[in-house]
Amino acid sequence: MFEALGQRPADLLRSLLPVIGLVAVMLGIYSYRPNAASYIGFNLLLTYAIPVALAAFAQMFIIAAGDIDLSIGNFVSLVTCIVAVVLPASPVLGGAILLLLVLAYAAMGMLIHARRLPSIVVTLGFSFIWLGIAVLILPRPGGLAPDWLAALVRIRTPLAPLPVWALFVLSLLGHLLLQRWSFGIVLRGVGGNPKAVARAGWSVLRAKAVLYGLAGFFGVLSGLVLTGIATSGDANLAPNYTLLSVAAVILGGGEFVGGKVSPVGTVLGAMTLVLMNSLLTFMNVNSDWQLAAQGLILIAVLAARTAISKLETRSAHAHVKLSIGR
């Protein structure tokens, strides 16, 4: 039956884990709040899933390169400060700064590759740079999101609320970029086997710059949406997005072995984490324990993957022994 679906049983089970996790959390929410299964309910529950999913996409491109980004949370916070302070006063200057941030991310990727520096150290250093610039721009929470941005995130869409449509489009865009775009195969190969990419005639440096540039682009989008939702900026608005983005990619089927990421799974992982916070709130769980609960979910998913891999290995060994016996 599994072969008819075009996947091995173990691969199918791995791909279903994000769906199973999301469904389990949604059932828990509905058991506490039955009215959540409505247009308004979905809109309220998933509003903050959009910026989290965008930040997770930024992390996904870094993990696809075989690296990890410890600066995305402070980067998103910096973007909210620019959007709330600079963009309303001077749209051209604000847009130019945001473009420079994307280019800075691409340059960071080139620096890591050219100097063979550990990404965890470089991105940690940049996290302090982003935070310092954000504090200089906006020492305390404030500013005001542009009217067009605040209106954009509150559009009432037909059939389903805006977050549902936005997350669907994001999943489709990520799938097209990494799975259907011919250069997407090269981008995934950079993390998995950069030597093979180089032997095929592709520039690994260029591919890394593209991956990091895409990360910067989606980080900027995350900051834009978050500012529209919060209506203001804050240098400490999204530091937890760093851990959330990593958790979303891993929950969605990604692995720290470069090239193994899932755009659709990443979106599902981000939705699961955001909805889990809502569920824990409904259960009157102290906010201090919510991060611990997210960690336990991540550990449970990784344990399930390990168990599936072991079952697959045992099944393969048994098949080999059976073949030898024949």
Per residue in 133-171, pLDDT tens? 999 999 999 999 999 999 999 999 998 999 999 999 999
Maximum distance among all Cα pairs of the chain, rounded to whole angstroms: 78
What average pLDDT does the structure give for the chain? 86
Query: In DSSP terms, which residues pair with 233 in a beta bridge?
Result: 142
**Is residue 318 over pLDDT 70?**
no
**Is residue 325 over pLDDT 90?**
no
Express each pLDDT in 245-270 by its tens digit. Answer: 998 998 888 887 766 888 999 999 99
Tell me, what's the pLDDT at 260?
82
CA 237 distance to own-chain centroid: 17
DSSP secondary structure string for all residues of 45-60: HHTTHHHHHHHHHHHH
Distance CA 160, CA 39 (A): 6
Tell me, what's the pLDDT at 1?
39
Q: Is residue 71 within 8 Å of residue 261, measured between CB atoms?
A: no
DSSP secondary structure string for all residues of 62-81: HHHTT---S-HHHHHHHHHH
Tell me, what's the pLDDT at 7?
53
Distance CA 203, CA 300 (A): 38
Enumerate residues 6+ apart whose C-beta is below 8 A from 126.
71, 75, 108
The CB density around residue 290, as the number of other CB atoms within 10 Å, is 16
- Quick one: average pLDDT of 181-210? 86
- Quick one: average pLDDT of 105-133? 94
Enumerate residues 6+ apart whose C-beta is below 8 A from 175.
263, 264
* Sign of the alpha-carbon torsion through 50, 120, 263, 205: positive
From 232, 248, 235, 81, select the one nearest 145 (Cα to Cα).
232
Distance CA 218, CA 58 (A): 5
Q: What pTM was estimated for this model as a whole? A: 0.90
Distance CA 187, CA 206 (A): 10
Express each pLDDT in 64-75 by its tens digit. Answer: 988 999 999 999
Tell me, what's the pLDDT at 309?
66
Q: Is residue 234 within 8 Å of residue 143, measured between CB atoms?
A: no
Q: Is residue 252 within 8 Å of residue 265, measured between CB atoms?
A: yes
Query: In DSSP terms, which residues pair with 142 in a beta bridge?
Result: 233
Q: Is residue 212 within 8 Å of residue 108, measured between CB atoms?
A: yes
The token pair that represents 271 in the structure block: 């939705």
DSSP secondary structure string for all residues of 240-271: THHHHHHHHHHHTT--SSTT---HHHHHHHHH
Tell me, what's the pLDDT at 5?
46
Distance CA 25, CA 29 (A): 6
Tell me, what's the pLDDT at 312?
63
Distance CA 64, CA 62 (A): 5
Burial category of 101 from C-beta neighbours within 10 Å (exposed 0-12, middle 13-18, buried 19 and up): buried
- Quick one: average pLDDT of 14-34? 84
